[in-house]
């Protein structure tokens, strides 16, 4: 069996032997017990399983874990929902999700949180005009399914973090 | 509503000598699990305290273990550490005989440790409860009863073997089929007729109504199972004959050529859809054969039902496979929408544990399996005939026939059929109504409870008919609706009045005045080239409650003022924990520090007993049973039917009120130094809370923690535990408290003083709602109106909902932002039902095991007017108006409003769902 090593929420894991066809989702949930990352469809359609992958060049992107083998994450650094808050201090996006009542059942929340965080970090590096904000948020979150919320409050929560600090995210 | 009697359930588990853990103190492992379900939890902040978030919010944004799918054996204190895994193999064929199970593809390491078949269950004496009629596992030699019926349960000790087997068996089913038999025939689930003939004036008694004469069923069926609706000249079914004779006369009246009437005769088809809650069904169980103890963690909307169903399944089982005790714990849900109410899934979790003893085992659907085996919304065929007075626009008479596909496993089909009939005339006052409704057994996937059941389907038909009639009559759509509204005190089609506020005139006023409606002509005229623009509205009233709903609530006050609530309601995203905390805070001056949900085990002190079926009990039986002060008509309800705000919070709310009156208020009197003969000691309802202080005119404000400490110190009440029951009215009882005979909308009460134990109080008086209320179809309703603007691309036929406005009323909104969120979510689900979601019946449908997201399209953010969706919540009619249920009503008018907007844009009416771009393109 191949062995993988990776960094999750800043902590090194591995080398750990895994089946070549073990999904990353099952690696996180069954092997490591990190169940904050959810399983929704197993077909990369709902993205409740998405985690953040931090590339070496300082950029980040979300990636579904349900259809990708754990071995594909060998050597990578990822962040999951469990890693956003530091020492109990919630991030502005977590705070915004809460104060906007963004989610209901909360099962899709880890995916939305990861996607929203990636967007914030992207805009911090490459701010956009105010006029493009709503469209940008919609496009960024559109891969994620939510059955409870109608998306309105999720979008408002992400948008309002950006509007609260326009010098950081907007041109 | 029809439901198998609980008496059988209790009898079976009692006969089997099984103790269901409904009243035992939690054992260690359960206490640890319960801690995970008690939010926000001591280590987390509570955003709900200041109204800035939900009680469960911090847990949900930090990935805390909360849902049952998050738990493994290693997370359960006192359980063996490793988790085994179960795989349920379901049949994708229901027309051929199952001849065998070929597991040849699973060799070597992949071989399951145990294979459980229908024969194994039969030998063990294991049988499903009556509610889920049919074999739990299709026996070899039998044709599966329905597509998706489980046929084998494979138990694996190692995850890797399970995981690989799951993928292999998805590609090639191990089930071997032989000769074609066709689908198995079974009786239909229900066939009912609801007929009402009003008296000559609104005040005159009805000539005939379901309330007066009882609900009727034809009792005569064709060979194929279809009911014979005509009043046949036979001796039996005389009661049916009377109603049917009135019904046929109504139909003849509609059919008679009358130039003064506009008659519309239309057919509609609504599709099957999946609740598509994001967390597939899952459960974890461990059978300890030494102790003969079965322990489970589940995620369902109906905890007591699930626990009792387990007791029932094992009740007649053989010694070796019959546990002595079953301890079931319930987790937060990753969505429900009705689809986890009365689901048979927990039965399979328990079977997995029993057949692999001493090994904790997990059964979890993947999404293919959830589509294949989960409960669906009923597809409907509806034919509606309605006669309008041309001169006035008033509806003269209405007749409809509903045919529901109930699928192959009994579930809520009978109830859905009834609800569809009693909601068929929506918000309107119609003097002559005749509706037949039949829930058919088919080989399809199981249809059961889903958000707005019965009403979504009929409201689509009714509200599109109203628009068509308005156009034909030359009357504005809002005006036509307004002229036909059922007024306060008017009778519904069952013959009873609604007993809550009726706000439909205001909803129509709001929509009529909205810029989206007033600007509809201008928007149409301004449509860009290649785009059609249309505006549509619809109105809906929806019952909340089932006619036999109950709540358990326990409220505890600590000496430092902290408030803890324990309840039986389930948190599935509906915000019940937050609503509960806010309702209790009205009385205790502090938003709860801890809310523990889905707890049916925490009310043992009440010593509740029940008997009979609350939906069918006779008055004599109820009166007799009520003599036992521990008897209640039902102990715990499913969290469904929009009962969260009204019913789910009732017991805790009333418990908190009593805690204020007999706990904090006596403490306040003592701190203020008010003596026994001072009349101010009775003015407790004039005191109010502000910023954690109890305020009473002319007296110094008192801090809530000081009051709590005083209550503890002086031996006043510091905890209350209550049960409430509603059958379209609350059961009321009086309890001896501090020299008073205290009346409340409760039927059981226990109290705690200081840190002492809870002690039950014998009620000195009780009035349960009369058994005759079971003939009421709907008495509690809330309303919602939806207005949408659509833009249709002429070339592709794609319909885009560009703007939306929903106006709703729900009495006192306990958690307004949760209400608003429900309305947004309802809009999205309504849009999906109108335009996107579709499950074909039978072999092409989800029962074939090949459906997943991608094929099944759920609305995404880009499908919705995320930045142009307005929700307005009407303020309550009075400050003390109780909360009304609203979680279902907000999705329903969205569907016909979109259809009406498409008709406005295209001039064409669609009567089958969903309306696809191809459908639109064909008519353009």
* pLDDT number for residue B18: 75
Are residues A107 and A150 part of one domain? yes
Do the domains B379-545+778-923 and B549-726+732-767 sit in the same CATH topology, yes or no?
yes
**Residue B661 pLDDT exceeds 60:** yes
Q: What's the mean pLDDT when you consider all of chain B?
A: 94
**Residue B857 pLDDT exceeds 80:** yes
CB B520 within 8 A of CB B514: no
What residue of B is the nearest CA neighbor of A92? B61
Best mutation target, B59, B830, B861, to test chain A (most A CBs within 10 A): B861
The domain boundary residue, chosen from A83, A100, A131: A83
The domain boundary residue, chosen from A49, A64, A83: A83
Are residues A79 and A11 part of one domain? yes
Are residues A104 and A33 part of one domain? no
Cβ-defined contact of A39 to B57 (cutoff 8 Å): no
CB B413 within 8 A of CB B187: no
The domain boundary residue, chosen from A20, A55, A83: A83
Q: Where are the domains of chain B?
A: 6-36+67-183+281-364, 379-545+778-923, 549-726+732-767
CATH number at residue A27: 3.10.20.30
Read off the pLDDT band of B228 (50, 70, 90).
Answer: confident
pLDDT in tens, B589-622: 999 999 999 999 899 999 999 999 999 999 999 9
Cβ-defined contact of A105 to B573 (cutoff 8 Å): yes
Provide mean pLDDT across the span B143-158. Answer: 98
* pLDDT number for residue B225: 73
Size of interface A-B (CB pairs under 8 A): 195
Read off the pLDDT band of B9 (50, 70, 90).
Answer: very low
* pLDDT number for residue B237: 63
* pLDDT number for residue B234: 63
Cβ-defined contact of A103 to B163 (cutoff 8 Å): no
CB B533 within 8 A of CB B790: yes
CATH topology of domain B6-36+67-183+281-364: Aldehyde Oxidoreductase; domain 3 (3.90.1170)
For residue B761, what are the β-bridge partners?
A: B749
Residue from B552, B553, B635, B551 nearest B588 by CA: B553
**How many CB atoms lie under 10 A from the CB of residue B23?**
15
**Residue B20 pLDDT exceeds 80:** no
Are residues A76 and A50 part of one domain? yes
The tally of domains found in chain A comes to 2
**Residue A51 pLDDT exceeds 80:** yes
Contacts of B224 (CB under 8 A, 6+ apart): none
Cβ-defined contact of A138 to B861 (cutoff 8 Å): yes
Provide mean pLDDT across the span B124-128. Answer: 95
pLDDT in tens, A62-117: 999 999 999 999 999 999 999 999 998 999 999 999 999 999 999 999 999 999 99
Instruction: Kindly list the residues from chain B whose CB atom is less than 8 angstroms away from the CB atom of residue A22.
Output: 160, 163
Provide mean pLDDT across the span B872-877. Answer: 98
Cα–Cα separations (whole angstroms), residue B335 to B341, B463, B768, B849: 11, 28, 33, 22
**How many CB atoms lie under 10 A from the CB of residue B505?**
15
Complex ipTM value:
0.99
What residue of A is the nearest CA neighbor of B867? A152
Provide mean pLDDT across the span B762-767. Answer: 97
**Residue B548 pLDDT exceeds 80:** yes
Provide mean pLDDT across the span A154-161. Answer: 98
- CATH class, domain B549-726+732-767, is alpha beta
Length of chain B: 924
Cβ-defined contact of B822 to A141 (cutoff 8 Å): no
Q: Which residue range(s) make up the domain with A162?
A: 92-169
Q: Which of A43, A84, A107 sits opposite B854 (nearest CB)?
A: A43
Cα–Cα separations (whole angstroms), residue B67 to B21, B72, B330, B333, B386: 21, 11, 9, 6, 48
**Residue B5 pLDDT exceeds 60:** no
Cβ-defined contact of B861 to A151 (cutoff 8 Å): yes
Looking only at the bridges linking them, the beta strands covering B563-567 and B594-596 are parallel
pLDDT in tens, B164-204: 999 999 999 999 999 999 999 999 999 999 999 999 998 89
Alpha helix stretches (DSSP H) within B330-439:
345-355, 367-373, 413-422
**Residue B100 pLDDT exceeds 90:** yes
CB B92 within 8 A of CB B616: no
**Residue B28 pLDDT exceeds 60:** no
pLDDT in tens, B307-342: 999 999 999 999 989 999 999 999 999 999 999 999
End-to-end CA separation in angstroms for chain A: 50
CATH number at residue A118: 1.10.150.120
* pLDDT number for residue B573: 96
Q: What is the architecture of the domain spanning B379-545+778-923?
A: 2-Layer Sandwich (3.30)
What residue of B is the nearest CA neighbor of A113? B61
Are residues A113 and A52 part of one domain? no
Length of chain A: 171
Are residues A8 and A78 part of one domain? yes
Are residues A72 and A39 part of one domain? yes
Are residues A137 and A154 part of one domain? yes
Q: Which of A48, A80, A82 sits opposite B278 (nearest CB)?
A: A48
Cβ-defined contact of B367 to A43 (cutoff 8 Å): yes
């Amino acid at each position: 069996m191949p062995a993988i090593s990776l960094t999750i929420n800043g902590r090194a894991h591995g080398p750990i032997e895994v089946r070549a066809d073990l999904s990353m989702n099952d690696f996180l949930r069954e092997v490591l017990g990190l169940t904050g990352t959810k399983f929704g469809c197993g077909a990369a359609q709902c993205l409740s399983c998405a985690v953040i992958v931090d590339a070496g060049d300082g950029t980040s992107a979300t990636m579904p874990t349900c259809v990708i083998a754990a071995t594909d994450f060998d050597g990578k650094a990822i962040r999951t929902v469990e890693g956003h808050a530091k020492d109990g201090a919630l991030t502005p996006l977590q705070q915004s999700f809460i104060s906007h009542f963004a989610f209901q059942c909360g099962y899709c929340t880890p995916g939305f949180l990861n996607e929203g965080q990636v967007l914030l970090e992207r805009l911090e590096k490459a701010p956009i005009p105010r006029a493009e904000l709503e469209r940008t948020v919609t496009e960024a979150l559109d891969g994620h399914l939510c059955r409870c919320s109608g998306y309105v409050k999720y979008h408002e929560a992400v948008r309002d973090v950006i509007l609260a600090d326009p010098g950081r995210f907007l041109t | 509503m029809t439901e198998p009697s609980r008496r059988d359930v209790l009898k079976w588990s009692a006969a089997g000598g099984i103790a269901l853990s409904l009243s035992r103190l939690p054992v260690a492992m359960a206490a640890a699990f319960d801690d995970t379900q008690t939010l926000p939890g001591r280590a987390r902040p509570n955003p709900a305290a200041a109204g800035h978030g939900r009680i469960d919010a911090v847990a949900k944004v930090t990935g805390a273990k909360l849902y049952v799918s998050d738990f493994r054996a290693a997370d359960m204190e006192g359980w063996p550490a490793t988790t085994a895994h179960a795989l349920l193999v379901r049949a994708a064929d229901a027309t051929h005989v199952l001849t065998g199970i070929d597991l040849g593809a699973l060799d070597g390491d992949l071989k399951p440790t145990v294979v459980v078949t229908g024969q194994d269950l039969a030998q063990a004496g294991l049988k499903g409860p009556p509610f889920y009629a049919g074999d739990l596992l299709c026996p070899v030699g039998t044709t599966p009863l329905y597509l998706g019926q489980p046929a084998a349960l494979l138990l694996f000790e190692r995850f890797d073997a399970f995981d690989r087997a799951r993928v292999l068996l998805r590609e090639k089913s191990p089930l071997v089929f032989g000769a074609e038999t066709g689908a198995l025939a079974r009786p239909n689930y229900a066939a009912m007729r609801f007929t009402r003939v009003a008296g000559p004036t609104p005040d005159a008694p009805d000539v005939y109504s379901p309330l007066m004469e009882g609900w009727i069923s034809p009792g005569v069926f064709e060979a194929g199972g279809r009911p014979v609706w005509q009043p046949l000249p036979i001796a039996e079914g005389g009661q049916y004959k009377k109603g049917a004779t009135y019904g046929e006369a109504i139909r003849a009246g509609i059919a008679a050529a009358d130039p003064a009437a506009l008659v519309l005769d239309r057919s509609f088809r609504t599709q099957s859809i999946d609740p598509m809650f994001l967390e597939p069904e899952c459960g974890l169980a461990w059978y300890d054969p030494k102790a003969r103890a079965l322990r489970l963690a589940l995620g369902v909307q109906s905890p007591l039902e699930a626990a009792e169903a387990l007791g029932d399944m094992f009740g007649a089982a053989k010694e070796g496979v019959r546990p002595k005790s079953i301890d079931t714990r319930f987790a937060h849900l990753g969505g429900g929408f009705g689809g986890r109410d009365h689901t048979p899934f927990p039965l399979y979790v328990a079977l997995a544990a029993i057949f692999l003893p001493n090994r904790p085992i997990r059964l979890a659907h993947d999404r293919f399996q959830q589509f294949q085996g989960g409960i669906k919304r009923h597809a409907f065929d509806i034919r509606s005939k309605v006669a309008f007075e041309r001169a006035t626009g008033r509806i003269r008479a209405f007749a409809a026939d509903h045919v529901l596909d109930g699928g192959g496993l009994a579930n809520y089909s009978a109830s859905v059929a009834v609800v569809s009939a009693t909601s068929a005339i929506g918000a309107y006052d119609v003097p002559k109504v005749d509706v037949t409704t039949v829930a058919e057994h088919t080989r399809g996937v199981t249809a059961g409870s889903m958000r707005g059941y019965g009403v979504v389907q009929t409201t689509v038909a009714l509200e599109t008919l109203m628009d068509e009639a308005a156009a034909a009559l030359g009357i504005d759509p809002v005006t036509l609706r307004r002229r036909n509204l059922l007024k306060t005190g008017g009778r519904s089609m069952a013959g009873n009045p609604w007993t809550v506020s009726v706000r439909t005139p205001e909803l129509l006023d709001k929509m009529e005045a909205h810029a989206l409606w007033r600007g509809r002509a201008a928007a149409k005229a301004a449509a860009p080239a290649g785009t059609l623009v249309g505006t549509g509205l619809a109105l809906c009233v929806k019952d909340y409650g089932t006619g036999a709903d109950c709540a358990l609530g326990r409220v505890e006050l600590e000496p430092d003022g902290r408030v803890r609530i324990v309840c039986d309601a389930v948190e599935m995203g509906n915000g019940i924990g937050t609503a509960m905390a806010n309702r209790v805070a009205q009385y205790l001056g502090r938003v709860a520090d801890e809310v523990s949900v889905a707890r049916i085990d925490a009310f043992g002190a009440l010593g509740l007993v029940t008997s009979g079926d609350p939906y069918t009990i006779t008055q004599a039986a109820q009166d007799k049973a009520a003599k036992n002060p521990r008897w209640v008509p039902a102990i715990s309800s499913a969290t469904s039917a929009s009962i969260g705000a009204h019913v789910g919070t009732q017991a805790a709310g009333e418990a908190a009120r009593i805690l204020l009156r007999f706990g904090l208020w006596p403490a306040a009197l003592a701190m203020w130094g008010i003596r026994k003969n001072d009349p101010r000691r009775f003015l407790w309802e004039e005191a109010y809370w502000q910023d954690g202080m109890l305020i009473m005119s002319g007296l110094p404000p008192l801090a809530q923690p000081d009051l709590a400490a005083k209550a503890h110190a002086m031996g006043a009440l510091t905890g209350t535990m209550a049960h409430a029951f509603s059958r379209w009215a609350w059961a009321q009882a009086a309890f001896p408290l501090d020299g008073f005979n205290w009346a409340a909308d409760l039927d059981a009460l226990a109290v705690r003083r200081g840190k002492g134990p809870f002690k039950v109080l014998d009620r000195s008086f009780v009035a349960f709602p009369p058994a005759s209320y079971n003939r009421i179809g709907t008495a509690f309703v809330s309303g919602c109106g939806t207005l949408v603007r659509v833009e249709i691309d002429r070339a592709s036929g794609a319909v885009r909902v560009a703007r939306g406005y929903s106006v709703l009323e729900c009495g006192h909104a306990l958690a307004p932002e949760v209400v608003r969120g429900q309305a947004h979510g309802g809009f999205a689900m309504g849009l999906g039902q109108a335009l996107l979601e579709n499950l074909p019946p039978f072999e092409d449908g989800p029962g074939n095991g090949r459906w997943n997201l991608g094929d099944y399209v759920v609305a995404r953010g880009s499908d919705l007017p995320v930045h142009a969706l307005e929700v307005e919540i009407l303020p309550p009619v009075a400050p003390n108006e109780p909360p009304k249920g609203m979680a279902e009503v907000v999705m329903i008018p969205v569907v016909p409003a979109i259809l009406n907007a498409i008709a406005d844009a295209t001039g064409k009416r669609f009567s089958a769902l969903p309306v696809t771009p191809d459908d639109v393109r064909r008519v353009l």
